[in-house]
Each structure stands twice: as C-alpha cells, then as structure tokens.
Structure 1
Amino acid sequence: MSQINKKYKNNKQSKALVKVKNKMNKKKIKPNDKDEDLVIGNIPDLNKTTKKNLPKIIQIKKNTKKLKREKELLSKLNSEEKQKAEHILKVQKAILKSQGQKVYNEKSLKKRHKNMQTKKDKSRMKWESIKNKEQKNKNKKNKKNKQNKKNKQNNKNKHNKK
C-alpha cells in the first residue's frame, strides 16, 4: 500500500481532502481577492482573440443575408434616419475591420460567390465525367458478357441439333 493509503486507512474524509489538494496544486488554482474582476467591463472577452474559421461558403451566405437585411432596413427609413443608420453601419464595419475580420461589400460578395460556384461546378463536372466513364465501361462489359452467353447458347443449340 502507498503511504497515503496507510496513513488514512480508516479516514475517508482526509483521503478526499488530499485528493482535492493535489488537484489544486496541479491546476495551480489561485483565489482572487480583487472585487474589480467582478465588474463586467474588466473581464476580457476570450472569443474576440480566437478567430472562428467558418467555411467560405457559409461566410459568404451569412454576409449576403446581412447585406440584404441592411438594405431592407435602410429602404424603410426616412432620409435623415437613413443617413444616421448608414453612419452607424459604417462605424460597425470599421470596428469589425479593426478586430481583424473581413467586411465585404455587395460586389465582392457576388464575385466570391461566383468563383466558389464555378469551382463547385468544375469539381461536379469532373466527378460526373468519371462516373459516366465508369458506367460506360460497365455497360460495355455487360454487353460483351451477354453476347458471349448468346454465342455459347447458339453453339450448344447447334451441337444439340446435330
């Protein structure tokens, strides 16, 4: 038996206490005495530093949906409110750019979507051509097999007639 087991053979609470202390030592948990950390403004946003890597297609779709919503909102507003809203949107986009995120306008999104679609189409065409070739080869083999079977049957029939 180990020393801990010998030392605390009959005392389960002390065993549990030792385990907790060992875990605290491993994780190096330090108690925080500062109340300032409880203020929401002082807590760092951990998600801002990590970039979320979404697939390009999903990013494009999200951005296009966002632009459509923005257009709908702007079309409903008056001229003064529209100017304010446009200014707010510009500020939001500038903030996103400063955080390292990419902000796209309508032209660039359409271009990106078109490029992604052409790549998809090319790969689809490639796979379709491969499948078609395989299907043709199978059909040729099947035809040859059928012809061979017919020839064999004809030969058997000829021999049987004689």
Structure 2
Amino acid sequence: MKTLPDHLRYTTGHCRLGGLLLAVCHTGICAILLGDDDQTLIADLQKRFPGARLEHDDAELAGDMQTLLQYVDRPIGELHLQHPLSAFGSVFQQQVWAELAKVPAGQTVSYTELARLVGKPSAMRAVAGACAANPLAILVPCHRVLRSDGGISGYRWGVERKEQLIELERRLSAAS
C-alpha cells in the first residue's frame, strides 16, 4: 500500500445527491466523497487521511469539480478529468475497486459475483469491506453492488443515494 500523503488540496460542491468533495494529492485524485454538508465531508476526508494537512483550493480544482458535478447528473460514458485517479488502499481493495470500475452503468453485480471476479469466491465480507472503504464515490461504482437476492444493502454514503444512483443509471442506459 502506498504511503498516505501529508498534504491534500480539496474543494466542495453540491449536486443532486447532496454535498460532493474532491481531494487531490501529489499523485492525483485521492478522494471523491458524498455527504450532507461541507463540514461532514471535510471531517470524513481528515479521518481517511489523519496526518494530512488539508488546503481548501477552489480555483485549481474548479475544472475537475465541474466535470464531476456534470457526471453525477449523467453518470454514463467517458469522464475526462484534469488529474488522474489515485486511490489509496490495500492490494485487495485495489483489486475490488478495479473490478467494480468494469461494471457498466445501468448494471449491477452481487457481492458474491464480485468476490469470484477478484479470485476470492468466499470473501464476500471482505469485498463488502472494500466497497465501504472506497474513496472514489461514483467513479468506483460501489453503488452497483447488490446482495445475492438483488436487494439493496448498505452503502457508505447512504442507501437512499445508492437507490437514486442505480435508478438514474438504469433510466439513462435504457434511453441510450
């Protein structure tokens, strides 16, 4: 696992899902978080990167934030960000996130299927833990993971947001 950065620049915005925080470090975008308000988002960022100095930087990050806000409204297709994605996590978490990124908008996968895809068919709980630790909301689409019976289980940023995202992606996929 990469060493956590000691300095992060961040900006916040607001979208249909509530608050949105974008944070970058020297290697790229390390966090995209959803929440109810800016203070909660900043606290979440600090908890994920406990030793980091946080710097509010609307000017430098405005382009990526605008792109993300547009993507939240239409989460289908290519996303062109100025900074590369640079999520911090264990090797297993990185594997889970990489498989999640392959699940197309409008489709879902079960925790069991995802465990099989990462080569650990009995690791459903570990897969769920990796989903909960996901630092890149929407871009690493952990909202597309459902229980084996097709039901919605927990979501790091709230079950209501998960339902909204799944429904939006299904509508957009059906229309395209």
TM-score (structure 1 length as normaliser): 0.28
TM-score (structure 2 length as normaliser): 0.26
Q: Whose strand fraction is larger, Structure 1's or Structure 2's?
A: 2
Structure with greater contact order relative to length (CA < 8 Å, sep ≥ 6): 2
Q: Whose helix fraction is larger, Structure 1's or Structure 2's?
A: 1
